[in-house]
Structure 1
């Protein structure tokens, strides 16, 4: 066999071995991250972090009665950013801050990946049609906004029906009304980071307590409809 051909074959084989080894290592690392995320979510940690499911539900579906938000299907990068904000104190919450501080960056990212990979409850679309009236305050603000006051509609960032858009704007549908209301109040008081383009403090500042209650009830009602559908056996 030609010597140069042998050299080329050896190099070709070596290259494929390197690629295979790299892919195997990446696969192993990904599997390890999933195990870490599931362990934190289901069991907590030896350092004292409680299992996430004890508040957020066995499938990350949230707890409407207690005001704990849904995590299932929410963007991993969004969840990681929120955990980092809790850890460094820029987002304040007496339950989540100490938990997040006890998690390493790797653990925060892993548990975020775990919940992002769970199937969210079936989305129930909100009414975005022409039948919405100004007297229906929650639906009007959610779907139309009040542009004469510089208040955009929630759907312009969070998507029709509050399903969420990308990694930046989380879902509102399926979240407890009390949780949505508390976060809007947090932006008003400056106890939650402003987010992209500092949009939310500006939006929240234009909302009265009545507005907040109405918008939260509107999106919370979508979640209630989802729970009803699940109870009837339509949950995947």
Structure 2
């Protein structure tokens, strides 16, 4: 689990993460118009896991891998904690970029899943507010449609991995292309309520075992 940045290093770290904000936006807040995801306010454990995944080759993006390849675990923990501590307002979402029937399909998958295809609802892990849970689960709101769709596609094709068992890959591979488009469009159209933040504890049980969530319970 990520540890707090040591006293006296906060100002120095702000300068050191300028390479991050060049893509992820000022203070890591990004915007709904861009491709790069918001990292400000995401749970520290989630951010740390993703930094490890890029550095160690489980996620593929050359610019990220190049920036991280020589950084230590402790340094990555500091970066994760820094961005997790930034609780900043979200920009309003773009207007919905899909027809009503596609948005409804996305809403149902996010809120209810599809029991007939053994697809759990997104809210089962990411919370009813879809803002995630500390320390490991990310929020799904405030992200662009293109980013959400591309990440689900990366899990489907094996371009993105997590520590085994890779629960997101298992879920993503059950989704059709139409499902991915619908989920991405619906999530991107949802506003983030003022003051919304990740829950302070993980769900008691999860629908699948996830290797990137140490200590999280799961349905057997």
- The answer to whether the Cα contact below 8 Å between 2:58 and 2:162 also exists between their aligned partners in 1 is no
Q: Which residue of 2 aligns with 1:101?
A: 69
Q: Which of 13, 21, 33 is residue 37 of structure 1 equivalent to?
A: 13
Q: Which has the higher contact order (CA 8 A, sep 6+)?
A: 2
1:117 deviation in Å?
A: 0.4
- The answer to whether the Cα contact below 8 Å between 2:113 and 2:122 also exists between their aligned partners in 1 is yes
Instruction: Give distance in 2, aligned partners of 1:213 and 1:120.
Output: 28
Instruction: Give distance in 1, aligned partners of 2:47 and 2:158.
Output: 20
CA, structure 1 residues 92+200, in 2 after alignment: closer, same or farther (shift >3 Å)? same
Q: Which residue of 1 aligns with 2:158?
A: 190
1:135 deviation in Å?
A: 7.7
Q: Which of 48, 61, 67 is residue 35 of structure 2 equivalent to?
A: 67
The structure whose residues are more often helix, as a share, is 1
1:71 deviation in Å?
A: 0.6
CA, structure 1 residues 134+217, in 2 after alignment: closer, same or farther (shift >3 Å)? closer
The reply on whether 1:167 has 2:135 as its aligned counterpart is yes
- Given the two structures, how large is their TM-score scaled by the length of structure 2? 0.74
Unaligned 5+ runs, structure 1? 1-26, 43-50, 125-132
1:79 deviation in Å?
A: 0.8
Q: How many residues align?
A: 186
CA, structure 1 residues 102+200, in 2 after alignment: closer, same or farther (shift >3 Å)? same
Instruction: Give distance in 2, aligned partners of 1:107 and 1:210.
Output: 40
The reply on whether 1:221 has 2:197 as its aligned counterpart is no
Q: Deviations over 1:18-47 (max 9, x none)?
A: xxxxxxxxx9x71244234322223xxxxx
CA, structure 1 residues 137+103, in 2 after alignment: closer, same or farther (shift >3 Å)? same
Secondary structure of the equivalent of 1:168?
A: coil
Unaligned 5+ runs, structure 2? 93-100, 197-220
1:1-236 correspondence runs (5 A): 30-42=6-18, 51-121=19-89, 136-195=104-163, 197-222=165-190, 225-226=191-192
| Alpha-carbon RMSD | 2.9
Instruction: Give distance in 2, aligned partners of 1:186 and 1:56.
Output: 19
Instruction: Give distance in 1, aligned partners of 2:103 and 2:33.
Output: 27
Instruction: Give distance in 2, aligned partners of 1:134 and 1:181.
Output: 14
Runs of at least 4 residues off by over 3 Å: 194-197
1:103 deviation in Å?
A: 2.9
Instruction: Give distance in 2, aligned partners of 1:97 and 1:120.
Output: 27
